[in-house]
A = this chain, B = another copy of it.
Amino acid sequence: MYYGYFNGTIAPTDKLAVGITDLGLLRGYGLFDYFLTYNGRPFQWDWYWERFQNSASRMHLPLPLDKDATYSILMNLIERSVEAGAPEDVAFRFVMTGGYAPDSISIVKPNLLILTEEIHPTPLIQYEQGIKVILDEYVREMAEVKSVDYKRVILMAQAIKSAGASDLLFQKGGEISELSRSNFFIIKGDKLITPNRNILHGITRRTVMQLAQTDFEIEERPVLLSELYDAEEAFTTSSTKKVLPITQIGDLTVGDGHAGPKSAFLLERFNELVKNW
């Protein structure tokens, strides 16, 4: 059983509910974050908290808790969940909305929800074979804020499935930004290249760039669709995907079509880091 926190109350997640005047529900006004624990400790907590704070500030939502109080809640939730039979490591989901609005439009006080969830690891076969994504002409509004606006990928679910793909790769006017919930990298020789605009600045992206810096020349810059043609490898990063090879982008086969050695090298580095977290 998994436990969650909602505005001061801790309870099993299936017992938590949100009143119907919530501005997340009525107006899509909310932000979220998501991260895992390793060895029972929240991974990159400092960075996640910093991002959550920034997102909240950009959306004019005052944080009801400070960093230490939030960390205590995380520890409390892990403890209760583990006591109730959950494994040592969990995923945390933060959702903070504009709160209850009697007039259905004005912010009074945010609602903050912190959930523990089961981790769903990416299937091994996807690491071995790489995934397919399809291109979508789209840019997420306020991409740098981790808002709850994920309409696009839900809207496109059938198109993704029909193409035998796993996700969307967003581009606009020929410039690539990100996948629907993860970042994008290409490798050419010793160059590791990743878009720097219209993206969410992923914590796994940041971690991977840090891990790569001794072996790669890192370029954070606009990346054009045309650059995919001579990319040796491509991969996506997120907390659950880690470093996941992309071998097919629409009709284009990336490199030789196999999950490449350089992505595998970075994944290994990442796995070492989290093993000792």
Main SS of chain A's interface residues?
mixed
Contact B155 A151 (CB under 8 A): no
| Shortest CB distance A247–B (Å) | 22
A271 at the interface (CB under 8 A from B): no
Which of chain A's residues 8-48 have a Cβ closer than 8 Å to chain B? Answer: 13-14, 16-20, 22-30, 32
- Looking at A70-78, A102-110, A206-214, A218-226, the stretch in contact with chain B turns out to be A102-110
Contact A23 B105 (CB under 8 A): no
Residues of the B chain whose Cβ atoms lie less than 8 Å from the Cβ of A19? 14, 16-18
Contact B158 A60 (CB under 8 A): yes
- Residue among A20, A24, A105 facing the most chain B CB atoms (10 A cut-off): A20
- Residue among A6, A14, A104 facing the most chain B CB atoms (10 A cut-off): A104
CA distance A17 to B9 in the complex (A): 16
Number of copies: 2
Contact A20 B16 (CB under 8 A): yes
Which of chain A's residues 97-139 have a Cβ closer than 8 Å to chain B? Answer: 97-98, 103-107, 113, 115, 117, 120
Residues of the B chain whose Cβ atoms lie less than 8 Å from the Cβ of A4? 20
Per a CB cutoff under 8 Å, which of B16, B104, B107, B117 touches A157? B107
CA distance A229 to B182 in the complex (A): 46
Contact B26 A95 (CB under 8 A): yes
Contact A151 B27 (CB under 8 A): yes
Query: How many chain A residues touch B (Cβ–Cβ < 8 Å)?
Result: 46
CA distance A4 to B98 in the complex (A): 22
CA distance A20 to B32 in the complex (A): 13
| Shortest CB distance A101–B (Å) | 9
Residues of the B chain whose Cβ atoms lie less than 8 Å from the Cβ of A106? 154, 157
Task: Report A's interface with B, CB cutoff 8 A.
Answer: 4, 6, 13-14, 16-20, 22-30, 32, 59-60, 93, 95, 97-98, 103-107, 113, 115, 117, 120, 141-142, 147-151, 153-155, 157-158
